[in-house]
Structure formats: structure tokens, C-alpha cells
Amino acid sequence: MGKIGLGRVACIVTVFSAAGAISAAAQTLTTLAIFKGNDGSGPQSIIQGTDGNFYGADWRGGGTDTSSGTAFEVATSGKVTVLYAFCSPTDCSSGGNPSGLMQASNGNFYGTTYNDGTSRVQVCDSGCGAVFEITPGGEETTLYDFCSQKDCSDGRTPEVPLLQGANGNLFGTTAAGGIYGNGLCGTSSDYCGTIFEITLNGQLTTLYRFCSLTNCADGEDPHSLVQGADRSLYGATLLGGANGFGTFFALSPEGTLTTLYNFNEGEGGQIKFQGADGNFYGISGGVFRITTSGQLTVLYSFCSQTNCSDGYGPAALLQATDGNFYGVTYEGGSSVDNPLCERRLLGNGCGTIFKITPAGQFSTLYNFCSQANCADGSQPAALTQGTDGNLYGLTSAGPCPSGKTGCGTFFSFSLGLTPFVSANPTFGKAGYEINILGNNLTGTTRVTFGGVPATFTVVSGSLIKATVPAGANTGTVEVTTPSATLSSNVAFQILQ
């Protein structure tokens, strides 16, 4: 399967607001902000922070000739703030082309860059990528430069966001490097790749090097990583495996890698999350479910309808609080004759928002570029659910302030879903302090973990700090406010 950076196209945010009602009742898309280049271009992912605002990283924004992306904050009011512009030093030693942000339990943001950094070797003479930390105030620290070890045995060119594990450390993958000297890796055309663990102060440990088995039977080029409820790391490779089209794997806490499934042509892609049913869900040419025993079920294949009116190139997937799956396709949809978004990368159309039930029933909820001059944006690349119940996302193209096309947007999409709370992290032992994110939390009178009351402090209207109580069992976190009782979107895992 070829590597396509769906978020690496487009440009750029000044405040803009426009609402467009769609066919289904109570479903409304609102453009909250428009990027204008110096604050973002080519968004990769978006998350909600503990302050209630949204944070993301883009591939090429920054506004100078050496721009290699930005980390940005965007509020629902439409205000966009650049936290950090990558490649700011003249030698790009801070890295360039970030893949996304995650907020750790300490409140800081972490991520990886695909290029640049301090390592200058033949296989990546512009830099091999880095791990970075950014404070909410915008102070950047480079924690690690890849290819720091001989023959890039520590990996290079990471391409997916980091995750924080149950031990508090960060985990991620590199797309290339790792093994050297087996005839498959170590050249400018290699993939292979690694799984790594890094502490918040920058101590990196390589947990696994792909292509360790003959003919890369264990896979190569890992492009996703999720921590399961059993604390194992699950993910997918794009290449290698028994069929050459990638693998679905698990890496145990003890460091043993098991190939759970070998993808066939057209099946492989990215694992996005573990669902409420304990199975894993991902995207490729469609949306699929895969069990830990290696049983794969395709829930939906895109471009099944004439002119790909159902969308093409899924770029994001999540399970919302109603149990259904929602996502965006980068292209396809009903806007096939619109010259502003025709044939960007994969096919016709400007992209869609879609819904799939756990039983596989598919529906298109929104077609981008439905408004004049693509005021609603096109080529969506990221989607998340906010604690107010709405979906929020980014498009990588759309209207520019100058009237030209090509700039991205930040949007909300109302489904009528109820508010909830989200724990960060979603696991912990008794005595751990946990951040709980929500809306209108001022005046909270009770917090429980699996039904057991916890001590807590209301920090702000969007943040509570609570201590995991002794005797709590795995289950939902509930927060009682003056107006409602809010439940967490996923079960909180109690660690022993």
C-alpha cells in the first residue's frame, strides 16, 4: 500500500463564521475559523485540551520560506494562536513537519516531527525527525533527535502522533530505520521502522525493530499505535508480513511482538482506537473491525457508489458517545463537478462527514464545499468529539481571506449528542491524580470512579483534578454538577 499524507496538501486563520444546515434534522456544520498560512497549513490531527480549547499541528504552516508546520490553539470563538512555528531556528534543529499533538497528564503537549532536527546523515540529510515538548505557553524543547545512534538503529522519520502509556511514558513509532545490514533497511528507500518508548525528560528506549524476521515477516513501516485495555500496544504496518501488505500486531508489556493478522491487498491501513466492545477499528479504503484473535470484518468500503458520492480516502475515525462511528473522507462526495476541489489527490469531490453504525449501516452526513466558494472548506483531515457532544474538525483546503481557494478551516458539526466528561489519562492506580475535562464543571458536588466517591478540586469550568479512590473498580467516571450528571466517554481502567 502506498504512503499518502492526506493532511499534507493545502494551505492555511482569521475568524470566520458561517452555518450551513444539512438534510438531517439537528445536524449543522459551522465554520468557526479559517487558516491563512502563517498559523496553519495541512492539518494532521486535532485534540481538545484541558482548558476546553482545541489544539493541533499542521504540516507546512508558518508563513516563511523555511516554514515546516506549526503547533496551534484554536478556540470555538474562532481565535487561533500559534504556539510554535517549526523550523524557526535557521538550521531547523527543532524539527519540521509535525504529525500531531497529544496532551500528557502534566498539561504539556508532545509530538514528533517527520523531518529536520540535529541528525544529518546520508539517508536523511535534512534531518531524521525529533520528539518535542511544547508548554501551553509555547515554549518548545526538543527531547530527542532520531538517527542519533549508529546506522539509525533508533529509527527515523516518525509519522504518527504519540500516546501516553499506563506508566506515564510516551510511546510511538518511526516509519523507517531500526534494522541495518539485512539488505532491506539502511538505505534512502528503506522503511522497516521501530516502536519506541520515551520518558518525559527525553530518555528513549527502542522496544522493537521491524524487519527482524526473514523477509520482514513481522511487518515494516508501522503507521499507527494504540494502547489496549490489557496495556499491550496494538498497531498496523503498511508493508511486510506474510502477504507483503502489512500486519496487525500486538506488543506485550514484556516486549514480545505477535503478528495477529496479515493484511491482504487493499485491506491494510491504520488502527485508530479500541472500541467499546474491546475490538479495534481502523481505516484503509474503508472502515474495518479486527479482533485480537485476528478476525477482520470490513464495515464499509468507500467509493461503492457512483462517482464516489459516498466519499473516498477516509482520514479520521472515532466512536462517539452514542456508540456509532463517525469520520471524514478526504475526497469524494457529491461535489464532483466543483472546480475548486476536483481531483486533489485520489479522486473527485471535496470530502464528506460519514456515520457507520456498529452493524455497518452507512450514511453520508455532510458534503464539503456545499457552500458558495467552498466557504465550508474542503478536504477534511481531522475529527474529534468535544465534551459538549459536538464533533470538531479541520479541513485542509477552502476559502482564503484574500478570496483565493486553498486554505483550511476549523469547524463544528452538531449531532445533538449530550455532553460528557473525559479523563486524562484513562487509567491509573489508587492515589493517582487524574485530569477530568468537561464543560460547565463549576459547582461540581461529586466525582466517582466506578461508583466510588473521589476527592477532587474544581480548577476551572473545563477542568477537575481528582484522585483515584481506593477500592475503585474499572468503570465510568461520573461528575455531578448543579445542572447534570456527566459520564465519561470511555471506561476508566484501574491499574493494580
As a whole number, mean pLDDT of residues 177-188 equals 58
For residue 386, pLDDT beyond 70:
yes
pLDDT tens for 406-428 read 578 899 999 999 999 999 888 88
- Are 29 and 145 found together in one domain? yes
Selection from 321, 437, 318 nearest residue 382 by Cα: 318
For residue 433, pLDDT beyond 70:
yes
Higher pLDDT, 317 or 100: 317
- Are 227 and 181 found together in one domain? yes
- Are 392 and 466 found together in one domain? no
Higher pLDDT, 158 or 24: 158
Q: Which residues pair with 485 in a beta bridge?
A: 480
- Are 348 and 208 found together in one domain? yes
pLDDT tens for 238-293 read 999 999 999 999 999 999 999 999 999 988 889 999 999 999 999 999 999 999 99
Q: Tell me whether residue 24 is in a domain.
A: yes
Residue ending a domain, among 414, 434, 462, is 414
Residues whose CB falls within 8 Å of the CB of residue 139, separated by 6 or more in sequence, listed in order: none
pLDDT tens for 300-359 read 999 999 888 999 999 999 999 999 999 999 998 987 566 666 545 445 788 999 999 999
- Are 56 and 202 found together in one domain? yes
Q: Tell me whether residue 3 is in a domain.
A: no
pLDDT range class, residue 17, cuts 50, 70, 90: very low
* pTM for the model: 0.89
- Are 389 and 410 found together in one domain? yes
Q: What is the CATH number of the domain that holds 471?
A: 2.60.40.10
- Look at residue 339 in the predicted model and tell me its pLDDT: 64
Q: Tell me whether residue 229 is in a domain.
A: yes
- Look at residue 9 in the predicted model and tell me its pLDDT: 30
For residue 435, pLDDT beyond 80:
yes
Q: Tell me whether residue 268 is in a domain.
A: yes
Q: Tell me whether residue 8 is in a domain.
A: no
- Look at residue 123 in the predicted model and tell me its pLDDT: 52
Residue ending a domain, among 414, 431, 462, is 414
- Look at residue 347 in the predicted model and tell me its pLDDT: 52
Confirm if 280 and 236 have CB atoms less than 8 A apart: no
Q: What is the CATH number of the domain that holds 143?
A: 2.130.10.10
For residue 159, pLDDT beyond 90:
no
Residue 136 to residues 100, 141, 426, 457: CA-CA distances in angstroms?
15, 12, 21, 21
- Look at residue 307 in the predicted model and tell me its pLDDT: 84
For residue 442, pLDDT beyond 50:
yes
pLDDT range class, residue 128, cuts 50, 70, 90: confident
- Look at residue 32 in the predicted model and tell me its pLDDT: 94
Per the structure, the complete domain to which residue 347 belongs is given by 14-414
For residue 405, pLDDT beyond 80:
no
As a whole number, mean pLDDT of residues 142-169 equals 89
- How confident is the prediction for the chain on average, in pLDDT? 84
Q: Tell me whether residue 100 is in a domain.
A: yes
- Are 175 and 192 found together in one domain? yes
- Are 221 and 262 found together in one domain? yes
Residue ending a domain, among 380, 397, 414, is 414
Q: Tell me whether residue 2 is in a domain.
A: no
Number of domain units in the chain: 2
- Are 120 and 183 found together in one domain? yes
Q: Tell me whether residue 248 is in a domain.
A: yes
- Are 193 and 258 found together in one domain? yes
- Look at residue 21 in the predicted model and tell me its pLDDT: 35
- Are 244 and 312 found together in one domain? yes
Stretch among 98-102, 115-119, 137-141, 302-306 having the lowest mean pLDDT: 115-119
For residue 6, pLDDT beyond 70:
no
- Are 361 and 478 found together in one domain? no
- In angstroms, the CA 465 to CA 432 distance is 10
- Look at residue 53 in the predicted model and tell me its pLDDT: 96
